Amino acid sequence: VTAQRLRCFGAVVAAALALAGCARSGASVAPTPGKAVKTLEIGNLPPDLLGLKLAPENVSDDLAKVPAAFIDALSLYSLRHNDLVMATLQVSRFNAGADVNAEKFRQTVVNQIGASAPRTVRLGASTVYLTTGTKQSIAVWFKDRYLFVLATRADYDEPRTLLRKALEIRP
Amino acid sequence: VTAVRAPWRRIALCGLLVVGTLGLSACNGATDAEKRLREAIRNTEKLSNTFLYTETVHDKAGDHETDVRGLVEDDFRYKARVAEDGKPVLDEVVSDDALAVRFLDPAQMSRFLRKPVKANQGGSGVGGNGNGNSQGLTTPGSAGNLGGAGATPGEPSAAELLATRRWVLDPAGAPSTFATANTDQTLGDDPIADARDAFAYVERAINEAVRVVEFNPESLEYRKDEDPFPTPAPHSGVTRYDFERPNLPKASQTGGGANQVTPDTRHFRKMSVYVKDKRVIKVMEKIDVESRLKDLAEIYDTKFPADRSKAELAAIAVEALNVIRTGQGQDPIRMRDMEFSLKDLGTDVKVDMPTDTTKGSLALLQNRGRPADAANGVLEAAAVRAQAAARPGG
């Protein structure tokens, strides 16, 4: 069930990134086929966040189903308490065709993640978009060419503290 | 006769064209003013600040003032003190998921207690409750004593601690950051949430206004006697943006359904936002029913008693409108004056948790506590209400 949920979540975000190309105007670089999206290596990742064990998950099968995406690398991590997945963190790198600094592009990406209208909040110097999914809270933020999506179980007690810790991650 | 009339017709036509042109230019100006204001809001809401939110509600019983004074480090870290009619009532500190609360006047606790209807409205969650915390409807049932619901046996409950003016810390009890479809938040229920939500409220007011214009005392449309707000001081660098309210709906007007369209807050709202250096420094609002009593009398073909003051008549009119509105499932009109002032924008503001706290669940308070504790919170809130009612004079 956990693996299914992770796969499902990965597919949702990958689809969002594929559609995000709609906001792009006059891009000269072609989108990346899903099969060509590489695994993103993030150095200096801590072994855990707030006591939740951080482990990479394989989402290559889901990515392969996406015909065209505006990312060229992606990693999905599970954050587990014992064996239970409390949260997932997806880090994606946009390809050269994505207009990542354009607010319109960012809004288009954010609008396609989650089931509710995103709300913008400020945490320290970071702008984070908050939305919700089924029984989960979703936080989305951009850092340089990277997109972070943190999804936490709705019954997890420290989602904001976890988010603040996750904001410290630098790819 | 024709020769004499022709020049007058031409002059009249020119006049109309000029008026039309001015009208169009006014439209452009309003759009620019609105854009500038929205940009100022975006600039300001990103910044740390200290704030003072003051709301004076007018009803048939008189005027009641609530102040919320606080500081905001960022959207997940803030502290606030609530005072009612000048008397401190409540302190609240939020740091990410943690929430600390103490009542300086425990007799006022009932206003902040969890409502008995919904039990699925905890706090926490990153931006609300997600949409999967449903624990169904819960009725209080038999309200236990204060030490009962949610308390560890042998230790005082949050309600008991709060009743003795002590700090209670709920490590995962922070309020939902914003009102969502799942949060049952009516203006006035939670003054801290109202203060923290002030910018979103102003954005909604912009959407509900006919247009936003820059304050111009020389405008042909400006009426000094209808302006309740202060004029920016000359050379202060402060720009004031005024919201133009829509006309009242006609009695025959219906919305999408069969219901008559009842006047809404937007029809009575006067709002001005003061901006300096592209940042909002103050918001002022007056829900001014008095100035529309004549219109109300005409639209609803009624006569107000001549022996009452305008303030009394306004309170009576709003009460009558609210009977209809609540019957239609709409929020009541809150006849109020509101002022939201911001200072220390962008300065190094830090929020520290109080040190003399006792851990406990704050789910007995509305929109606070872990969602999983909400059902117990309903019970505990009911017990507090029952005790208050049992007290002599309660």
Q: What is the ipTM of this complex?
A: 0.85
Pairwise CB contact (< 8 Å): A116 & B131: yes
Poorest-pLDDT segment among A99-113, B67-81, B357-371 = A99-113
pLDDT of residue A134: 87
The pLDDT value recorded for residue B100 is 98
**Nearest CA among B266, B272, B224, B217 for reference residue B245:** B266
Neighboring chain B residues of A131 at a CB cutoff of 8 Å: 127
- CB-CB neighbors (< 8 A) of B171 in chain A: 157-158
Composition of chain B by helix, strand, coil, percent to 5: 30, 25, 45
Widest pairwise Cα distance in chain B: 102
Residue-averaged pLDDT of chain B: 84
Q: Residue B142: which pLDDT band, with cuts at 50, 70 and 90?
A: very low
Mean pLDDT for the stretch of residues B254-279: 88
Helix (H, G, I), strand (E, B) or coil at A5: helix
Looking at beta carbons, which residues of chain B come within 8 Å of A161?
96-97
Q: Is A101 on the interface with B (CB under 8 A)?
A: no
The average pLDDT across B65-88 equals 97
- Minimal-distance CA residue of chain B relative to A161: B96
Q: Which of A154, A160, A161 sits opposite B132 (nearest CB)?
A: A154
Q: What is the mean pLDDT of residues A40-46?
A: 88
Interchain pair B128, A155: CB under 8 A: no
Put simply, the answer to whether B172 touches A157 (Cβ < 8 Å) is yes
Q: Please give, rounded to a whole number of angstroms, the shortest distance from the CA of A157 to a CA of chain B.
A: 5
Residue that wins the pLDDT comparison between B178 and B33 = B33
Tokens matching residue B7:
């020049």
Residue of B130, B172, B174 lying closest to A132 (CB–CB):
B130
CA R_g for chain A:
15
pLDDT of residue B2: 43
Q: What confidence tier does B332 reach under pLDDT thresholds 50, 70, 90?
A: very high
Asked if A152 reaches chain B (Cβ–Cβ under 8 Å), the answer is: yes
Inter-chain CB proximity A160 and B45 less than 8 Å: no
B381 Cβ contact partners less than 8 Å away, ≥ 6 residues apart: B113, B114, B115, B116, B140, B364, B365
* Angle ∠(B141,B144,B146) on CA atoms, nearest 5: 135
pLDDT given at position B186: 83
Q: Give chain B's contact residues with A (Cβ, < 8 Å).
A: 45-46, 74-76, 96-97, 124-133, 171-172, 174, 177-178, 180-181, 370-372
Record: contact A152-B126, CB cut-off 8 A:
yes
d(CA B170, CA B125): 14
Percent of chain B with pLDDT over 70: 79
Substitution target from B77, B96, B126, B131 for chain A, most A beta carbons within 10 A: B126
Describe the crossing of helices A2-19 and A103-111 by its angle, rounded to 10 degrees. 150
